Amino acid sequence: MNKSQIESEFRKLQDYICGELELLDGKTIFKEDAWTRDEGGGGFTRTVTDGNIIEKGGVAFSAVHGEVSDAMKSQLAMTDGDFFASGVSVVLHPKHPKHPIIHMNVRYFELDNGTYWFGGGIDLSPHYVDLRAARAFHLSLKKVCDKYNPEFYSKFKVWADTYFFLPHRNESRGVGGIFFDNQNENSRLSKIQLLNFCLDLGREFPVIYREQIEFKAYDTPTLEELKWQALRRGRYVEFNLLHDRGTKFGIYSSGRTESILMSMPPMANWEYNFTPEENSEEDKTLKFLNGKIKSFL
Amino acid sequence: MNKSQIESEFRKLQDYICGELELLDGKTIFKEDAWTRDEGGGGFTRTVTDGNIIEKGGVAFSAVHGEVSDAMKSQLAMTDGDFFASGVSVVLHPKHPKHPIIHMNVRYFELDNGTYWFGGGIDLSPHYVDLRAARAFHLSLKKVCDKYNPEFYSKFKVWADTYFFLPHRNESRGVGGIFFDNQNENSRLSKIQLLNFCLDLGREFPVIYREQIEFKAYDTPTLEELKWQALRRGRYVEFNLLHDRGTKFGIYSSGRTESILMSMPPMANWEYNFTPEENSEEDKTLKFLNGKIKSFL
């Protein structure tokens, strides 16, 4: 299982996810934008807009290599040498406020000294928290995790709760999910098993999102709901630009800005000290997101 | 000239600016929100929405004191002791895309070991760059600077060009302005002269903004112009959350989030790899903002 095989599997995964999301949406078609990196490698960024379901989304693939940079040394505690990194990232901003924002990422990293690790995760940010939908989401993640290691789900769930958190709001970004990094021999799985875990997660992604979309039938959104959606998108921006390690690392280390910021929402809003009406759906969501997320299972 | 006098001058400045901006807008009225800080001090955040001219804006005053925190030590290279800080900050997001976003800040900081410094600045971020309006803006700033020190304008203008820059876009945030920090005896001005410089700048602010608003009469904005405005607001968000030292310092040191993020725009948009039509007004602005800003005078 060498790096070019991993790269090729990730590229196929991107293709698979895009195909499934086009079927789910029924209207929008991904556009592909190929780019190269001066220092080595490149990627294919695929984006959609104005779908039936997806208002703005992206499924990005990249495979880059070259010398370990200063930014990588300081951020990833790495030493001199050459690296290879490949991965697939997805962020979808749905049109309907009752549909959740979703994020998925799987990635592989290796150094020429032979060390390697996998990372990734899936997390869900509903504009309106629905506990039953959140439970279904976590059950699906647990099922994939349990196929590989019975400890993965509980470990990676806590990791997501800690990671997808906005300290300056004392708010969870959403209902969590799973997040993992630095997985290699230490996970008691072989390299190929870890790759398969990542690929399984990726292939499960469109199934999981379809389940969320089809969870309930919703009416045409009200103006109040659309306004709330724009405010929650503002929070998503805050997380990505202030706290998301991938985004910050990419931006500060001269990554490709447009591919990194593919995760940004359409039409995000900020309103000074917005406080929802007591006991409204918005208020319930805000109270639920306050502090760290508890178990759903 | 002690700290409580400075605090009281800054509070009067906030009042003056709000009054002038209400006159300029002709419709919107500032709402004041008082807050206190557990560790000492507090502030009055004044915000407006849905005016004739101003779609969303804020004029914030704060005066805080207490022990130097770890965050301050690491970010401001300070040592143990007590501090006092007071200032006024303004950010205005206009409704019309042909009107510019503007930002102003004056601030004072002192430590109980007797050291103190003033900082601040005004900068302009037009959605559409108009060279004549930018020149008028810089002339007004130069006039205030020249009253105090003939070197201020050229020095503080370069400081603003360096500071209000988005490296990940290779873009200036706008047409610049002036920015300064750490001004005390080293500026060859006395403490009271520096305070007067800050107050003069602050009092000039509404005059400067009125000049920008009245520079030209504009038609009802087109959909294209409104779309471009939302994209430029997205860039403003990127600067504030990724690069602005005040915002980052405030957020990471547990400042009051709502007051810090008062600077966020309404309805900011991101579009993957948006490229304006060749030679359009949007294209001209983008080309102008590419790289560092040159002289206007």
- pLDDT class of A170 with cuts at 50, 70, 90: very high
In a domain, A206, yes or no: yes
In whole angstroms, what is the distance from residue B48 CA to residue B71 CA?
A: 31
Q: CA of A83, closest CA in chain B: separation in Å?
A: 22
On the question of pLDDT at A37 being above 80, the answer is yes
In a domain, B145, yes or no: yes
- Note whether A267 contacts B45, CB cutoff 8 Å: no
Mean pLDDT on A69-77: 75
Of B58, B230, B273, the CB nearest to A272: B58
Q: CA of A128, closest CA in chain B: separation in Å?
A: 20
Annotation marks residue B103 as catalytic: yes
Of A168, A251, A268, the CB nearest to B242: A251
Q: Which chain B residues have a beta carbon less than 8 Å from that of A60? A: none
In a domain, A295, yes or no: no
In a domain, B40, yes or no: yes
In a domain, A275, yes or no: yes
Domain of residue A94 covers 3-289
Q: pLDDT digits over B114-135, tens only?
A: 899 999 999 999 999 999 999 9
- Note whether B267 contacts A272, CB cutoff 8 Å: no
Q: pLDDT digits over A117-146, tens only?
A: 999 999 999 999 999 999 999 999 999 999
In a domain, A297, yes or no: no
Share of chain A above pLDDT 70, in %: 99
Which of A30, A56, A273 is the best residue to mutate to test the B interface, defined by the most B CB atoms within 10 Å of its own CB? A273
Of A251, A262, A270, the CB nearest to B261: A270
Q: pLDDT digits over B158-171, tens only?
A: 999 999 999 999 99
Q: What is the CATH number of the domain that holds A30?
A: 3.40.1500.10
Domain tally for chain B? 1
Q: Which chain A residues have a beta carbon less than 8 Å from that of B234? A: 264
The interface predicted TM-score of the complex, written ipTM, equals 0.94
Mean pLDDT on B135-147: 98
Please tell me the pTM assigned to this model: 0.96
pLDDT for position B79 = 78
In a domain, B296, yes or no: no
Mean pLDDT on B277-290: 97
Mean pLDDT on B193-221: 96
Which of B168, B226, B232, B233 is the best residue to mutate to test the A interface, defined by the most A CB atoms within 10 Å of its own CB? B168
A-B Cβ pairs (cutoff 8 Å, strict): 81
Q: pLDDT digits over A253-296, tens only?
A: 778 999 999 999 999 999 999 999 999 999 999 999 998 877 88
- Note whether B257 contacts A168, CB cutoff 8 Å: yes
Of A238, A258, A272, the CB nearest to B47: A272
In a domain, B297, yes or no: no
